[in-house]
């Protein structure tokens, strides 16, 4: 009887409350909300880390720098640090959904100035790492062609990179689900092959030659490799509005990705320490001279190429959503906020991101190597953004009165460790007399300061729009179950029932 009366009351309320004059719509509705499953979100997050390729590069770094046990400990420590940062990020993903990811989260905790710094840092990270993975992927494709007797040199190298970039762009423009499935298939196949090759009984191993120039310590390159290999869990936050159950699937993915990839990398570190990775590393560094079959060498490069290119796709996807968010807010040109009507993809932001990747990869191919300062800069700006997110989580939860001592200490430990590692990297390179990374870092940090001043002087209202996130629409709320009102930004949104202008739907 009680259930019947409650249902009758709900039906009566649905007719009693009037519709608002304007329906409430999400500022991110153009992307096509609620498309991605949990597996597809996980594919986006995991692929960004390029786990298959990293499982080769980490043992290679440990062996070439003679940091076996210490390198294994460094991988475990890096996994713990990144997992702590992921826990801090999950505090936001449980409460809000934003295509700007960490950029939007920091805006809610520390304001527009810190948000711009985070946004620029993440844009540099994803565009930079995407260019690096595209470069390495193209290099692996050229190596495979060489194994098949096809030499690609000179201008043909640039053609290869632009063709790969065009294929990536075509896949991403097809739609977020198609791109996620393609990433999932490519990365899964390459990961299975690399793991299988690592546990396979090897041919006669060739001693790995040490890397010339130890610098401040043999452990630093392994620390850098491990941190950068684990970075990328946050890319799931950029596709949150397109996930079916964003607050659940994205939160789970953010926490699971560093744990899953960390376990794989610890296994790879153990393989290097125990000698199981000698054949794999030897085949990667020296090819068939280790006695490994040319077919296995070609397949190794194929697996790494797939992993690199899946990472380039995932990085392009994440970067495009970040650029899209900043375009919607007016922080960057509004054209970046354009979305294809049928495919629901931010095509202008995608074209811009993939173009940057193609140009960057081609420049690296012409140069023939990755500058030391470039890789270090990408790692440091990423760590800086991680520290800002951890600090923002403490401030944000204290503001909404949902903080606990356990949460506060977790975020403080994560921020402190992130700051210590950042200082260790910067100071270590400075003591070596390598100031390129420090100079590049100062430039990256100066850009958002100057851009903030420009926006405050020319478009101050734009600063109030920073941190746009997905919000419930009128059709998402049962009649009579929610109150809507016009916000200070001129949008109709779900508000508290005590709002002075609330209209119950």
Q: What does the pLDDT profile of the chain (505 residues) look like in tens digits?
A: 455 566 666 556 555 555 556 666 777 777 877 888 888 899 899 889 888 888 888 888 888 777 788 888 888 888 999 999 999 999 999 999 899 999 999 999 999 999 999 999 999 999 999 999 999 999 888 888 887 878 888 788 888 899 999 999 998 988 878 888 888 788 788 788 787 777 665 544 444 554 444 444 456 677 778 888 888 899 999 999 989 889 999 999 999 999 999 998 998 888 888 877 777 887 887 777 777 778 778 888 888 888 898 899 999 999 999 999 999 988 999 899 999 888 889 999 999 999 999 999 999 988 888 887 888 888 889 999 999 999 999 999 999 999 899 999 999 999 999 998 888 888 877 777 777 777 888 888 899 999 999 999 998 888 887 888 776 666 666 565 556 555 555 565 555 555 555 555 5
Q: What is the pLDDT, as a whole number, of residue 489?
A: 58
Q: What is the pLDDT, as a whole number, of residue 182?
A: 82
Tell me how far apart the alpha carbons of residues 183 and 42 are, in angstroms, rounded to a whole number. 10
246: tokens are: 């964003």
* CATH T-level assignment (fold) for domain 32-467: Amino acid/polyamine transporter I (1.20.1740)
Q: What is the dihedral of CA 334, 337, 338, 342, to 10 degrees?
A: -170
Q: What is the pLDDT, as a whole number, of residue 450?
A: 94
Over 294-356, what HEC string results?
HHHHHHHHHHHHHHHHHHHHHHHHHHHHHHHHHHHHCCCCHHHHCCCCCCCCCHHHHHHHHHH
Domain ranges for the chain: 32-467, 471-505
Q: What is the pLDDT, as a whole number, of residue 222?
A: 76
Tell me how far apart the alpha carbons of residues 107 and 92 are, in angstroms, rounded to a whole number. 11
pTM value is 0.87
């Amino acid at each position: 009887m009680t259930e019947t009366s409650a249902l009758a009351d709900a039906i009566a309320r649905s007719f009693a409350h009037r519709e608002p004059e304007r329906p409430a719509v999400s500022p991110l509705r153009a992307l096509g909300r609620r498309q991605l499953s949990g597996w597809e979100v996980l594919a986006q997050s995991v692929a960004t880390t390029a786990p298959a390729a990293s499982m080769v590069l980490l043992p290679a770094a440990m062996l070439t720098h003679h940091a076996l046990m210490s390198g294994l400990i460094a991988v475990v420590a890096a996994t713990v640090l990144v997992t702590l940062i992921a826990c801090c990020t999950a505090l936001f993903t449980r409460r809000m959904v934003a295509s700007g990811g960490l950029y939007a989260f920091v805006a809610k905790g520390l304001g527009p100035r810190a948000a711009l710094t985070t946004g620029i840092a993440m844009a540099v990270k994803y565009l930079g790492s995407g260019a690096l993975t595209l470069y390495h992927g193209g290099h692996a494709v050229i190596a495979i062609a060489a194994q098949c007797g096809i030499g690609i040199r000179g201008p043909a190298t640039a053609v290869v990179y632009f063709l790969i970039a065009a294929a990536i762009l075509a896949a991403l423009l097809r739609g977020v689900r198609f791109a996620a499935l393609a990433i999932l298939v490519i990365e899964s196949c390459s990961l299975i092959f690399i793991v299988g090759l690592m546990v396979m009984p090897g041919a006669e191993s060739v001693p790995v030659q040490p890397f010339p120039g130890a610098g401040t310590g043999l452990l630093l390159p392994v620390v850098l490799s491990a941190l950068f290999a684990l970075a990328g869990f946050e890319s799931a936050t950029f596709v949150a509005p397109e996930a079916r159950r964003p607050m659940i699937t994205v939160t789970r993915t953010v926490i699971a990705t560093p744990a899953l990839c960390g376990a794989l990398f610890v296994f790879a570190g153990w393989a290097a320490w125990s000698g199981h990775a000698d054949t794999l590393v030897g085949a990667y560094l020296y090819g068939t001279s280790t006695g490994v079959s040319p077919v296995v060498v070609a397949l190794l490069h194929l697996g790494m190429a797939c992993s690199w290119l899946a990472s380039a796709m995932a990085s392009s996807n994440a970067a495009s959503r970040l650029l899209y968010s900043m375009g919607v807010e007016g922080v960057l040109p509004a054209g970046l906020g354009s979305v294809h009507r049928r495919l629901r993809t931010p095509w202008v932001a995608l074209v811009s991101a993939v173009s940057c990747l193609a140009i960057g990869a081609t420049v690296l191919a012409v140069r023939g190597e990755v500058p030391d300062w470039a890789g270090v800069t990408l790692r440091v700006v990423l760590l800086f953004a991680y520290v800002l997110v951890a600090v923002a989580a403490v401030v944000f939860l204290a503001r909404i009165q949902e903080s606990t001592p356990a949460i506060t200490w977790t975020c403080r430990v994560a921020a402190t460790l992130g700051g210590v590692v950042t200082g260790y990297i910067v100071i270590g390179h400075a003591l070596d007399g390598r100031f390129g990374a420090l100079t590049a870092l100062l430039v990256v940090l100066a850009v958002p300061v100057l851009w903030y001043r420009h926006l405050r002087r020319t478009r101050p209202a734009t600063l109030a729009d920073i941190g746009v996130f997905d919000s419930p629409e009128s059709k998402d709320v049962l009649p009579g179950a929610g109150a809507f009102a016009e916000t200070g930004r001129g949008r109709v949104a779900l508000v508290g029932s005590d709002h002075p202008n609330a209209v119950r739907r």
